[in-house]
Amino acid sequence: MRREVQWRELGQGHGPRVLLLPGLGARGSGFLALAQRLLPAARPLLVEYPEGEAAACGAGVLARQVLRAVGEVDAVVASSFGGMVAAHLAAAGAARGVAFLGAFTRTEHLGVRGLAIGMMGPIARWARPGAVAAGLAAWTPVPFSRVPEVVPTTPLERDSTWHRALAIRGEAPPPELRRLPVSCVCIQGTRDVLVPPATVERLAASLPPGTPLHRLRGAGHVPYFTHPDACARLLQPWLEALGAGASVVASSAA
């Protein structure tokens, strides 16, 4: 059982260091296809969250745990609840850019659904999500062997989701990023039934003006998993700009 954040870096390139954050009950390994497509222009980091009772913390505490584990990064690509963690990291100055993939930084961005986010814990524990739930989230059939990358399937994963979901509403939300020097981009699936397309407008209002919004037609809640090529194409120009910014800063410091 993981009691701390675990992570691994892919590639040996010199591009921006990019942290990939999964949602509430998803595995970080679900980002592998996208991570491979971002090589060699970036250095992706796959993350797995703590499990069991160690998961009983909100996004702010989890962000501090992630920061202790991996250190500062150039960018974060966050899915769903991972957006809350990413917002805390950006507000703390630990990331210069955040890409939100079907994500949110505050539960109120979800509208009425945000009031019931704590129900994700009981659903995970007692409804026992499986292939049907994974297919609904992805909006496409998910091979049985890959279902655990999308929804919590083991007793430990379901228990972890229970603890994390109940802890979310017990902490203060992250600061809005609108006035902070952070580069953001939003990618939203038009078939996302968990974080509906209307959410992205409320999210965008809390981000720096001019943040690009991209809608992936036919994509569900996990576009990084189902549409890695499309996500990579949208993320690469943004990552290149972050990398160029880092080079300018390094040159100036020299």
Instruction: Give the domains, in start order, of the chain with CATH numbers.
Output: 6-252 (3.40.50.1820)
> Which amino acid is it at 91?
A
pLDDT at position 247 is 38
Cβ partners under 8 Å of residue 32, min gap 6: 46
Query: So what's the pLDDT on residue 242?
Result: 87
How far is Cα 137 from Cα 142, in angstroms, rounded to an integer? Answer: 10
What are the tokens at 23?
Answer: 């949602």
Task: Name the strand (E) or helix (H) holding 205.
Answer: helix 199-205
- DSSP letter assigned to residue 126: I
Helix-then-strand count for the chain, H and E: 10, 7
Extended strands (E) in the chain:
6-9, 17-21, 43-48, 73-79, 95-101, 183-189, 213-216
Q: What is the pTM of this model?
A: 0.94
Q: What is the pLDDT at residue 198? A: 87
Separation between Cα atoms, residue 238 and residue 235, nearest integer Å: 5
Extract the tokens encoding 229: 């090529």
What six digits make up the tokens of 223?
């576009």
- Ranges of the chain with pLDDT below 50: 247-254
